[in-house]
Amino acid sequence: MAKALVLLQLTLLQAAACFTVSGNEAEGVAFSAQSPSPFHHSPIYPPSESPKYPNSHPPYPHPHHNHRHKIQPPSQPPVQPPTHSPVQYPPSYPLPKRSLLAVQGVVFCKPCNYSGVDTLSGATPLVGASVKLQCNNTKRPLVQEAKTDKNGYFYMMAPKSITTFGSHKCKVFLSSSPMATCNKPTDLHYGVQGAILMPQKLPQPPAQAPELSPLSPRDDPVVLFPYQLFTVGPFAFEPQTKCPH
C-alpha cells in the first residue's frame, strides 16, 4: 500500500514538471513573436525604368492603304464675313478768297402810263438818282451812297471794313430822284425793301479801286484781292400820279 502511494506521488510530480516546461516554452515563443527584430532595414525596391517614348517620325501609310480619298465639297458654301465699303470723305475745296465789295446797277424813270405796274416798258435812264448801300454786320449800319450817270448807271465801293464774307448782310435801296415828275421810288427788283447783292464775275479791277491793304490787326494778315463786283436792280422811279386822260 505504501509503495503504491509513493508511485502515485512520483507520477504526479512528473506530470507537473512537464506542464511547467511546456508553459515556459510557450511563453518564449510568444515573446519572440512579439519582440521586434533588433535590426530594421527599409524595403528595397527594384530600379524603375525610364518611360519609353515613341520615335517622332511621321506616320507611314498602311501597306494596304494606297488609294487616295476624294475630298467631298461642303454641301453649303462657307459663310463669308460681311465686307464694309471704304469710308468716303467729302472732297476738299480751297477756301474762297476774301475781297472788298463793289456794287453796280441802273436806275430808270417809268412813264406815267405804266405807273403802278412792275415793268420797264417805255422807261428811260434817270440821271443823278441816288442809291445807298447799307450793311448791317456791325452794331451801327454802314451806309455808302452813289449817284447815277447819264446812262442811269451807278457804281460804288463798300467801306473797307466790309468784305465778301459779310456781303450777305448788305442791301441796296433807292434813295432819291432829282426829277420832280419822277420821284416816287418803286419796289421793282426790291428797290424799296432792299435788294440783295448778286455776285458778278469781274475780269479786271476798276481803275478807281484804291490800293489794297490787309484787314485789321486782330485778324490774320490776309492779302485782299481785287474788288468783288456785285449787281443789283435795275431799279425805277415813277411819277406820283398817273397820266391825265
Q: What is the CATH number of the domain that holds 157?
A: 2.60.40.10
- What does the block give as the cell for 242? 398817273
Q: How confident is the model at residue 58 (pLDDT cuts 50, 70, 90)?
A: low
Of 103, 115, 171, the C-alpha closest to 141 is 171
Domain total for the chain? Answer: 1
Cβ partners under 8 Å of residue 197, min gap 6: 101, 103, 167, 168, 170, 171, 172, 230, 231, 232
The mean pLDDT of the chain is 73
Find the distance separating the first CA and the last CA of the chain, reported in whole Å. Answer: 209
Q: Is the pLDDT of residue 200 over 70?
A: yes
Say what the pLDDT of residue 213 is: 41
Q: Determine which of 21-30, 37-46, 179-188 has the lowest per-residue pLDDT on average.
A: 21-30
153 lies in some domain? yes
Q: How far is CA 90 from the centre of its chain?
A: 12
20 lies in some domain? no
63 lies in some domain? no
198 lies in some domain? yes
Q: How far is CA 208 from the centre of its chain?
A: 48
149 lies in some domain? yes
Q: Would you call 149 exposed, middle or buried from its count of C-beta atoms within 10 A (0-12, 13-18, 19+)? A: middle
Q: How confident is the model at residue 186 (pLDDT cuts 50, 70, 90)?
A: very high
181 lies in some domain? yes
Say what the pLDDT of residue 17 is: 58
Q: How confident is the model at residue 189 (pLDDT cuts 50, 70, 90)?
A: very high
For residue 146, give its domain range.
100-202+224-238
Q: Determine which of 59-73, 103-117, 131-145 has the lowest per-residue pLDDT on average.
A: 59-73
Report residue 156: phi and psi, to 5°.
-145, 155
87 lies in some domain? no
Cβ partners under 8 Å of residue 1, min gap 6: none
Cβ partners under 8 Å of residue 185, min gap 6: 174, 177, 191, 192, 235, 237
CA dist 171 → 111, 126, 157, 189 (Å): 26, 21, 13, 12
Quote the percentage of the chain above a pLDDT of 70: 56
23 lies in some domain? no
Over residues 231-241, the mean pLDDT reads 93
Q: Determine which of 67-81, 107-121, 128-142, 189-203 has the lowest per-residue pLDDT on average.
A: 67-81
Report the run of H or E that residue 230 belongs to, with start and end.
Answer: strand 225-231
